[in-house]
Chains A and B, each alone.
Chain A
Amino acid sequence: MLKQCEGSHAVAATVALCRPEVICAYPISPQTHIVEGLSEMVRDGTLPGCEFINVESEFAALSVAIGSSAAGARSYTATASQGLLYMAEAVWNASGLGLPIVMTLANRAIGAPINIWNDHTDSMSMRDAGWIQLFAENNQEAADLHIQAFRLAEEVSLPIMVCMDGFILTHAYEGVDIPTQEQVDAYLPPYEPRQVLDPRDPVSIGAMVGPEAFTEVRYLAHAKQMQALELIPQLAAEFQQQFGRDSGGLIRQYRMEDADTVVIALGSVLGTIKDTIDDLRDEGNKIGVLGITSFRPFPLTEIRDAVSHVRRVVVVEKCFAVGIGGIVSRDVRSAMRNRPQPLYCVVAGLGGRAITKDSLHQLFMEAIEDKLEPLTFLDLDWNAVNRELERERLTRRSGPIAENLLRDLGVVAARVG
């Protein structure tokens, strides 16, 4: 049923239809509305057969999910930003143990400086943790990905992060088609664990593994992600068949047919990029977009094939690895190994800075003319940066950087844009 609702509520309603049995939650913006919605559904009986546990930290949230999942219950939690970092040890543990927990990540920047707005630094910090990471472009996909995520997680016995842009999606009101319980039940069978804590058949889970088997255990985690690479398109196709909607999959292509220039990105910014590309197409430029839905496992072959004919690739990413540059672009570079085309990395939208069509238009025109630097920071205020560097050069005790910049810019309250 098409419903005008907040992204978080669409996700909450959809997660509820997946019949989770244990939900654990710790508040952190911008994820809170999701678990608030679920707690209400558990409380008022619309989500029966589910335990909702308010815990004392994100570390505990995921740890409770580890316990409940290992004991055979379909388990769900949600977090963002610092919360993901606080649960980091459990993040690796959940995937190492092969527990099919589904977690929504409402993507948000990581401090310091503390910042509640959107970028992808949080999920990227855990990109090697063994979780499958799926990125939603809009709220419909955010909702749909959860249904596919439970199915996929339980199929390969791996945890999945469904990443949706904080505020931009979580707090946006859009029309979302919330499926019926019958539809979801037909797609998502009850959880049949591969390993379970049960007195009727006692097993030890979480033993120490030494050099004699550690490599093999880690390789098997990789092998499962490779299985997921096969399964994700199948599950998306099946989803389309049953729900009549194109959601999920590994990558998503838009106006790529004869493109010379391809822009690659993840998440909600794809919408703005598509609008910009429509304009550029109208102006006669051969440009297209490739959205990465599955960042882990990374669809190397699909991306390699999709960009084989293009002249240049621009990766717009809401994250970067300090000291070297892009994160997504390096993975894309692996996909383009031994290919001569230039790859431009553009870091954009950090800490919620708006990525505007104007900026993108100018950026893509520079790319088309091959005038871009290999690494570009979109809309970076060079003057402010240089003034701070100058202050540091002149004064030993130059003071805290973030506060200096804010004073310099005259910003009195957090401002988006």
Chain B
Amino acid sequence: MTATTIKFYQTGTHTVGNRLLDPEHRSVQADMRRTNSLNSGHRACQGCGEALGARYAIDAAMQATDNQLIAANATGCLEVFSTPYPETSWQIPWIHSLFGNTAAVATGIAAAMRVKGRSDVRVVAQGGDGGTTDIGFGCLSGMFERNDDVLYICYDNEAYMNTGVQRSSATPGAARTATTPAVGDAPGNVFGQGKNLPLIAMAHEIPYVATAIVSELRDLEAKVKRAMEIRGARYIHVFVPCPLGWGTNSWDTIHIARLAKETGVFPVFEAERDRIVSVSKIRKQLPVEAYLRPQRRFAHLFSPTPNTEAIAHIQALADRNIRRFGLVDPAAETAVAAPVATGNP
């Protein structure tokens, strides 16, 4: 992402009014000519982070490609809520094949475009975390390894929401899902080894990998735009809160996403090949409790008795993110309130 020097005309907020920016710096979403690629009228839940993420990403990709875009979509919420035929929200050529083959379908589309002499037409593949980190992982890794000309976007809401909130390999430790209920000695999901797909993508040394959150619209759009300037396999992992699965208020989606970033739970960065080239710094570091408390999937960590051990574990993981990705400037770090707990889990 190219750095832009901007002036803050507003105070008490982390956002910058679009109207105060130069037109070329304004968000795609603020542009009257935006394509509404994922049009209104779809059947996503109120406050759906994935619907926002997909709309932002695909509109940005459309602008970046002069509307020459084809999308392949994995089975999942995004597919189901967008195409209850005869209604479709997609204003772009769009195909849904299966749950686990989206990256391969996209490879096929890209190959067809190349062979037809229409390399100006670009291909996006998209899926949720289940379709990406679990069932679609083989096809995704194959697409990365071959460096096929596809941008794969994962909308990560940390569980299988479409089937009723079951655990995926992207579900965080301690989170309650339908298959990791908050009962027993270690309620919620186990703390496994994790499966950090952006880092796995980087291990393939593909040209471009980025993470983004729905609360940072312009950052997300800029990353999609940047991805579209590059040929080859690209991966963007977008953090999208799910009010239904997480037990959050539908009006809190943006707020929760921001808290994930500000606590270090979800690092926002950008990488080229295997090298991280930019990191979105935490503005005002918060303890993970601030992120966990508003979510009913973590309610058992606080009531009836606080599970300090599990909270400390999550804090330690966030701290590790902060150290590993340099999410806090060393100067600012000292000014931050001490985390709830430290130490490696």
Contacts and interface: CB of A to CB of B under 8 A. Distances in A.
B112 A67 contact: yes
Interface in A73-96: 73, 75, 89-90, 93
Interface string B248-285: 00000000000000000000000000000000000000
B115 A21 contact: yes
A205 interface: yes
Contacts of A197: 70, 93-95, 109
Contacts of B101: 59-60, 63, 66, 89-90
A323 B58 CA distance: 52
Interface string A296-313: 000000000000000000
A57 interface: yes
Interface residues of B, number: 43
Interface in A10-58: 21-22, 24, 49-51, 53-57
Interface centre among B94, B108, B114 (most CB of A within 10 A): B108
Nearest to B87: A207
Contacts of B73: 206
Contact of A202 (B90, B98, B107): B90
B139 A63 contact: yes
A68 B109 contact: yes
A56 B138 contact: yes
A73 B90 contact: no
A204 interface: yes
B106 A57 contact: no
B145 A56 contact: yes
Nearest to B99: A89
B85 A208 contact: yes
Contacts of A56: 138-139, 141-142, 145
Contacts of A207: 83-85, 88, 96
B202 to A, nearest CB: 19
Given A199-B67, A202-B93, A206-B95, A60 B114 contact: no
A401 interface: no
Interface centre among B79, B80, B98, B105 (most CB of A within 10 A): B105
Contacts of A213: 85
Interface string A242-268: 000000000000000000000000000
Interface in B131-152: 138-139, 141-142, 145-146
Contact of B108 (A49, A54, A68, A199): A68
B334 interface: no
Interface of B: 67-70, 72-73, 79-80, 83-85, 88, 90-98, 100-101, 104-116, 121, 138-139, 141-142, 145-146
10 contacts: A24-B108, A50-B115, A53-B111, A63-B105, A64-B107, A66-B101, A68-B108, A89-B101, A204-B85, A204-B90
Given A59-B139, A67-B108, A208-B83, 20 more contacts: A21-B115, A22-B111, A59-B101, A63-B108, A66-B101, A67-B112, A71-B108, A71-B109, A73-B108, A73-B111, A197-B93, A202-B92, A203-B93, A205-B94, A206-B79, A206-B95, A207-B85, A207-B88, A208-B84, A213-B85
